[in-house]
Amino acid sequence: MLNVGIAQIDVLTGDRRGNQRRVSEWMSQYSAGASNVTAIVLPELWDVGYALERKEELADDEGSSSEEFLSGLAMRYGVWFVGGSVLARSSGRFFNRAQVIDPSGKLVAQYDKAHLVPMFDEPVHLSAGSSRCLFEIGEVTAGCAVCYDLRFCEFIRRYALDGAKVLFLSAQWPHARIEHWSAMLKARAIENMMFVAACNRVGKYGGKSMVIDPSGTVLYEGAEDREEGAFITIDPSSVDVIRSFLKVFEMRRPELY
């Protein structure tokens, strides 16, 4: 069993310390001891929000201060942090970077957003990542994606083909296309027969964070207009059951695609 914590919060633009305080307050309000492995998912760019034009001022060198902050919380509460991307500076370039931190406080994986959003001028300000992020949480293989990645079904399918049973996704998905968000989250869960745990920002953005099982059943759906938190227990072994019944992967014909 795996517990998934969804931290559906608003983000203070350009205020890293303020956002760290908000995450700390969320943890103190919602987090509780559990016997199962627990993974907390934060929104995209939870540290400074979409202030990309101020990247020189706001970017976190290698994401290190955000990593240090989340590492402290991970050790304090005995949880993982998965996703919740930050504005990171690396070798003179800037990335929308998701971090995976284990309960010992160790950064075990990171992922630079591969598909940048033209509507938010991400390609103007950021460099795209060039690799995926597959990791083990407990004994469960999982993958990490960020916001606009959701629209690229081939990208998510690679995770499933490589054994991922859970996809963690962080976002700042707008109100105007929130129905796309809901539909595509369900589609990615169904077509890949995997759990999808997605955390979206509220406030100026659309909320409706979701946890969906491999059959497409919505186990949790957040409100569209308020901050909230939830912990949902999932059973990743059910992925093996549905994949052994619906042999989609074995019946693929990539030579036709």
Catalytic residue among 67, 122, 144, 147: 147
Residue 122 annotated as catalytic: no
CA gap 70, 79 in Å, rounded: 10
| The residue count for the chain | 257
Residue 44 annotated as catalytic: yes
CA gap 25, 23 in Å, rounded: 5
Residue 186 annotated as catalytic: no
CB 195 within 8 A of CB 212: yes
b/e map 37-47, b = 16+ CB within 10 Å: bbbbbbbbbbb
Q: In which element (H, E) is residue 187 found?
A: helix 178-192
CA gap 165, 140 in Å, rounded: 7
Catalytic residue among 113, 122, 144, 208: 113
Q: Which of 3, 13, 8 is nearest to 80 (CA)?
A: 3
CB 16 within 8 A of CB 246: no
**Enzyme catalytic residues:** 44, 113, 147
